[in-house]
Chains A and B, each alone.
Chain A
Amino acid sequence: ETGVTQSPTHLIKTRGQQVTLRCSSQSGHNTVSWYQQALGQGPQFIFQYYREEENGRGNFPPRFSGLQFPNYSSELNVNALELDDSALYLCASSLGGAGASYEQYFGPGTRLTVT
């Protein structure tokens, strides 16, 4: 069974630039959630994708957007990067729909630094 993978591991961007982060879900899972974890804080929910549709969104501006692909992998895009976007971005996969499970399984994260 393949776990959740994320790429890249680390990324350094300049304020105003755009970034794309990638996530491959655990085999058998059809739902992907993205979280932002700032230093010293718990993960904060950004949004969730189920069957290629956004299934819910946290308190993040529209410059945070995402996609889910037919193979259930996902991308997180952030436009017009700000210094406060510097954080660990975590992807979590789970099983949604019939027979859904509430447990979410996390990848190792992408550390984004905005200078």
Chain B
Amino acid sequence: DQQVKQNSPSLSVQEGRISILNCDYTNSMFDYFLWYKKYPAEGPTFLISISSIKDKNEDGRFTVFLNKSAKHLSLHIVPSQPGDSAVYFCAARNSGYALNFGKGTSLLVTP
């Protein structure tokens, strides 16, 4: 039962443009959401997070938006750079201890 869904397996964006990665979830008990970036042969790297009591969090070029009523969050990267090319995972935490991950979206930023 996939509680966190990333419905776009891949995304291609030109350098300098905005990248928007989407994530949907089904469990209304999730209280904290995180985005991770993963390069081949490396572990996931924490990128940015947001609490369920907020609707936006910004860190440099990265902004995460949360729409609780729609059970949807998105990661915006502006401007996109070739080094941003990686697999991006959305993860959600409930009141316990585990992170529930989506299957990931592979982002390719072309020059």
Question: A residues near B, CB below 8 A?
Answer: 4, 6, 33, 35, 40-45, 48, 50, 55-56, 58, 90, 92, 102-109
Contact = CB atoms under 8 A, between A and B. Distances in A.
Given A42-B102, A45-B99, A56-B98, A108 B42 contact: yes
- Interface size of B as a range: 20 to 34
B35 to A, nearest CB: 11
A56 B96 CA distance: 8
B22 interface: no
A43 B44 contact: yes
Contacts, number: 58
23 contacts: A4-B43, A42-B4, A42-B89, A42-B101, A42-B103, A43-B44, A43-B99, A43-B101, A44-B101, A48-B97, A58-B98, A90-B43, A102-B34, A102-B93, A103-B34, A103-B46, A104-B99, A106-B43, A106-B45, A106-B46, A108-B41, A109-B42, A109-B43
B91 to A, nearest CB: 8
Which of B32, B41, B49, B98 has most A Cβ within 10 Å?
B98
Interface in B65-81: none
Nearest to B34: A103
Interface of B: 4, 32, 34, 36, 41-46, 49, 89, 91, 93, 96-104
